[in-house]
Amino acid sequence: MNSMRQKAYTRQEVPNHKTGIVVGIDVSKGKINFAAFHPEWNTATIQVRQNQAGFEELKRFIEDFQDSGHQVWVGYEPTGPYSICLREFLLANRCRTVQVNSYHSKRIKEVRDNSPLKSDDKDPGVIADLIWQGCYQEVHA
């Protein structure tokens, strides 16, 4: 009956519910939208251009939370060539970077607010929800 045994399943690590913050990032061709999410609160979505100045603003946003003692996870949905520069920037700045499967984020949008419609304000929250659930992949250099 070896074929009937369940395989051991270990859940991925998730952010700490007291000190953890997930910064969800929606990446598109010329801009990025990001917001910070905690189980009890979240920030407003911020939109910046996808260039060095925008990345520096994102870095300051992340560092503000790190300086206040939060464990920051940065998550995004890979969007082909548009997310490569962001990924390299985050890894160069030693941010805990994870990515979510685009198929999963598409499906969870419907569960989140009963609407499959895409919205730049909605996407960072969907990405953060998936990370809080442990549905992500670690990004390595």
pLDDT tens, 63-80?
999 999 999 999 999 888
Neighbours of 41 (CB within 10 A): 8
pTM of the model: 0.86
Query: What is the structure's pLDDT at 45?
Result: 94
Is the model's pLDDT at 140 over the cut of 90?
no
Cβ–Cβ < 8 Å for 126, 105: yes
Within 13 A of 119's CA, how many CA atoms are on the CB side? 12
Query: What is the structure's pLDDT at 123?
Result: 87
Round to whole Å and give the CA distance between 101 and 72.
20
Which range, of 7-21, 83-97, 103-117, averages the lowest pLDDT? 103-117
Round to whole Å and give the CA distance between 69 and 11.
25
Fold of 15-138: Nucleotidyltransferase; domain 5 (3.30.420)
The domain ranges of the chain are 15-138
Query: What is the structure's pLDDT at 7?
Result: 55
Nearest to 15 by CA among 74, 87, 80, 55: 74
Whole-number average pLDDT of the chain: 87
The 10s digit of each residue's pLDDT in 42-63 is: 999 999 999 999 999 999 999 9
Query: What is the structure's pLDDT at 23?
Result: 97
Is the model's pLDDT at 9 over the cut of 90?
no
Is the model's pLDDT at 102 over the cut of 80?
yes
Query: What is the structure's pLDDT at 8?
Result: 57
Nearest to 24 by CA among 103, 110, 90, 84: 90
Cβ–Cβ < 8 Å for 120, 97: no
Is the model's pLDDT at 37 over the cut of 60?
yes
Distance, CA of 60 to chain centre: 17
Q: Which segments of 43-131 are extended strands (E)?
A: 46-49, 71-76, 96-99
Structure tokens at 4: 């009937």
Neighbours of 65 (CB within 10 A): 18
Query: What is the structure's pLDDT at 116?
Result: 64
The total number of residues written for the chain in this structure: 141
